[in-house]
Homo-oligomer: A and B are copies of this chain.
């Protein structure tokens, strides 16, 4: 386990992203507090550059490239926020970026990635494997592959969000964090261990796919089929080796939220906090609602991971359509 990132790596990442990533605001709502019977603070990574915390990890990773790596370029496979995070980071650092996306990815996402200056390579999601394509491109052109979560610099970068939260709010009693591949949660665990050792950490998975909970219970990385959930950022099939290693050691409580609870939380964010939050970003608040009773009177953080969602879809979910 010597290869696992540590809190010192989060501190280093924080200095690398300073002045480039936003130090996102922490918001609160008296009405939410009254409803839940506790004091909640929301770390708003939906207000991060490109709309999600993923920018932190991607920028940290790319900022460490050697001159030769920078010249050759970066490759990433993702249909979501990681793609845009890598494309934007590469643009800011002057690194050529190649993003492998499914041929039927939404036009808006392809356009956004191209808008950040990324070259988009498409693949057929039914007949081709994106990891293979990514690796083949990396080998052929000497590109550096940056995976979406299982990478020490990505994990360390994601940990900077919770670090800022603890710096601003002190050691909270509990913190709710979305859980997909585990990059955000394991980075958060590093910061919590150093800055708020008494803070109870909750990782929140979609109810449709609780591989994280099962992995920690069984002591091995459990693989599942792609879970059917509106939380597209948490539709991962398994934890990574590094993220699992950190989570085994730090032992967060893993809980779940249903799609209906996510939609409820999405409406609460819009109504009381005036925030557009994507379904995955609603995992924390949705789970906090379920667990409010056991946290009565406590100071509780919620990591709001992102706000990228197609507007027609968002309007339909908000409006109940």
Residues of A participating in the B interface, judged by any CB pair closer than 8 Å: 25, 27, 30-31, 46-47, 49, 51, 115, 267, 270-271, 273-277, 307, 311-312, 314-316, 318-321
Contacts and interface: CB of A to CB of B under 8 A. Distances in A.
Given A274-B307, A311-B271, A30 B46 contact: no
A46 B311 contact: no
20 contacts: A25-B25, A25-B47, A30-B49, A31-B115, A267-B311, A270-B276, A270-B314, A271-B311, A274-B276, A274-B277, A274-B307, A311-B318, A311-B319, A312-B319, A315-B315, A315-B316, A315-B318, A315-B319, A315-B320, A319-B321
Given A315-B315, A319-B321, 16 more contacts: A25-B25, A46-B274, A47-B274, A51-B274, A267-B311, A270-B276, A274-B275, A274-B277, A312-B319, A314-B318, A315-B316, A315-B318, A315-B319, A315-B321, A318-B318, A319-B319
A273 B316 CA distance: 19
Main SS class of interface, A: helix
A256 to B, nearest CB: 25
A139 B312 CA distance: 51
A51 B32 CA distance: 13
A12 B93 CA distance: 45
Contact of A316 (B271, B276, B319): B319
Contacts of A46: 274
Nearest to A266: B311
Contacts of A273: 47
A276 B272 CA distance: 10
Contacts of A307: 274
A7 B12 CA distance: 44
A321 B321 CA distance: 11
A321 B314 CA distance: 13
A279 to B, nearest CB: 14
Contacts of A320: 312, 315
A277 B318 CA distance: 15
A30 to B, nearest CB: 7
A46 to B, nearest CB: 4
Contacts of A314: 270, 318
B51 A311 contact: no
A154 B316 CA distance: 38
A51 B29 CA distance: 10
Contacts of A318: 311, 314-315, 318
